[in-house]
């Protein structure tokens, strides 16, 4: 894993005291995914990429990447999947192996690697452990403004829930199985209210995840189909009346569903 931050101050990790004095005061975590210098992290930890520079430390080696879509050193970021890929000038990094999330089970032991409170300023990752509490979870309801990833795909579900203690700064770090394979990218959403609890979430390393990071490495956002409706199951009374399908409880303006004339209350079969 890689650790970094968003302040543009100079840095000198090789000098005694240099890390403590010059490391960014905003910090997060990243994961090396390619020998050619590609670093994966959460999109929401980047702040405003057009205004920030990013300093990255990997095993005491300092690197600099420039804000997303600001220079060729960075690939791209996508708020919908809350994933971003930065690139540093390196050709000899050791990428983390990807695991198979189809094999995940509740109660499985996992380890979170990250940069809690910016303590891993030298690129030496910190670890914590726990179990998988649940699978396919949506983002938890949070107070106004407390959840930087609230507009992502995962408000609808799909996250790994874990009881690993995810302190501030571990967002964008690897959640790994006992083989050392990454099975999720931690988001540390449970810490967004200003204190930590034994409740955290990670984006699973599934087919959508893998396709998205390959697309981001080419400098483009991933593309997704979006119908624009919120469906619900039919009520018992409607089913007893012989109806079948799903009832639309909301249709988003300006979407394909809206343009096709679908309305709230319609039943889609």
> SS3 string of the chain?
CEEEECCCCCCCCCCCCHHHHHCCCCEEEEEECCCCCEEEEEHHHHCCCCCCEEEEEECCEEEEEECCCCCCCEEEEECCCCEEEEECCCCCCCCCCECCHHHCCCCCEEEEEECHHHCCCCCCCEEEEEEEEEEEECCCCCCCCCCCCCCCHHHHCCEEEECCCCCCCCCCCEEECCCCCEEEEECCHHHCCCCCCCCEEEEECCHHHHHHHHHHHCCCCCCCCCCCEEEEECCHHHHHCCCCCEEEEEECCCCHHHHCCCCCCCEEC
Residue 143 has pLDDT above 70, yes or no: no
Overall average pLDDT of the 160-179 stretch: 90
Q: What's phi and psi for 211, nearest 5 deg?
A: -65, -40
Residue 97 has pLDDT above 70, yes or no: yes
Residue 189 has pLDDT above 80, yes or no: no
Confidence at 15, pLDDT banded by 50, 70, 90: very low
Q: Which residue numbers are catalytic?
A: 44, 82, 171
pTM equals 0.74
């Amino acid at each position: 894993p890689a650790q970094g931050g968003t302040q543009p101050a100079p840095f000198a990790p090789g000098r005694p005291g240099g890390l403590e004095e010059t490391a960014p005061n905003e910090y997060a975590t990243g994961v090396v995914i390619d020998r050619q210098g590609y670093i994966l992290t959460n999109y929401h930890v980047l702040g405003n990429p057009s205004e920030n520079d990013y300093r990255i430390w990997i095993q005491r080696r300092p690197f600099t990447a420039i804000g997303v879509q600001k220079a060729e050193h960075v690939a791209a970021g996508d708020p919908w999947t809350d994933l971003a890929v930065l690139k540093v000038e390196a050709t000899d990094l050791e990428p983390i192996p990807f695991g198979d999330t189809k094999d995940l089970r509740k109660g499985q032991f996992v380890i979170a690697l990250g940069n809690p409170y910016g303590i891993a300023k030298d690129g030496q990752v910190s670890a914590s452990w726990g179990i998988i509490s649940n699978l396919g979870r949506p983002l938890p309801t949070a107070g106004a403004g407390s959840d930087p990833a609230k507009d992502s795909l995962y408000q609808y579900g799909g996250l790994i829930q874990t009881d690993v203690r995810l302190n501030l700064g571990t967002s964008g770090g690897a959640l790994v199985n006992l083989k050392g394979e990454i099975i999720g990218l931690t988001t540390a959403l449970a810490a967004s209210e200003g204190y930590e609890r034994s409740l955290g979430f990670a984006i699973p390393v599934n087919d959508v995840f893998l396709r998205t990071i390959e697309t981001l490495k080419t400098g483009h956002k991933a593309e997704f189909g979006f119908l624009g409706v919120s469906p619900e199951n039919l009520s018992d009374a409607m089913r007893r009346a012989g109806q079948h399908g799903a009832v639309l409880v909301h249709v988003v303006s300006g979407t394909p569903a809206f343009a096709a004339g679908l309305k709230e209350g319609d039943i889609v079969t």
